Homo-oligomer: A and B are copies of this chain.
Amino acid sequence: MPYVNIKITREGGTTPEQKEKLIAGATRLLQEVLGKNPATTVVVIDEVDTDNWGIAGQSVTNIRKRQK
């Protein structure tokens, strides 16, 4: 009965199909590596605004601006 939380930046639009793949893939990973029961494996995806995600001391919004 594992619980997996995936946090990603909300950029360019993650599609429902991609989310299905994340959920299926994380569930399969826990089953293959640890034999965990898929039926009770929970996956929660959080999409975070680029203003609210920081790395190296600045927001991703800022990093993306400089990359342009």
Q: Which residues of A contact B (CB under 8 A)?
A: 1-9, 14, 16, 18-30, 32-34, 36, 38-48, 51-62
| A8 contacts B2, C-beta separation under 8 Å | yes
Q: Which one of B16, B22, B56 lies within 8 Å of A33 (CB-CB)?
A: B22
How far is A14 from B54 in the complex, measured between Cα atoms in Å? 15
How far is A56 from B56 in the complex, measured between Cα atoms in Å? 16
| B19 contacts A25, C-beta separation under 8 Å | no
How far is A8 from B6 in the complex, measured between Cα atoms in Å? 15
* New A-B contacts (6) at CB < 8 Å, excluding given A20-B59, A29-B29, A41-B55: A2-B7, A8-B34, A22-B29, A23-B57, A38-B57, A47-B52
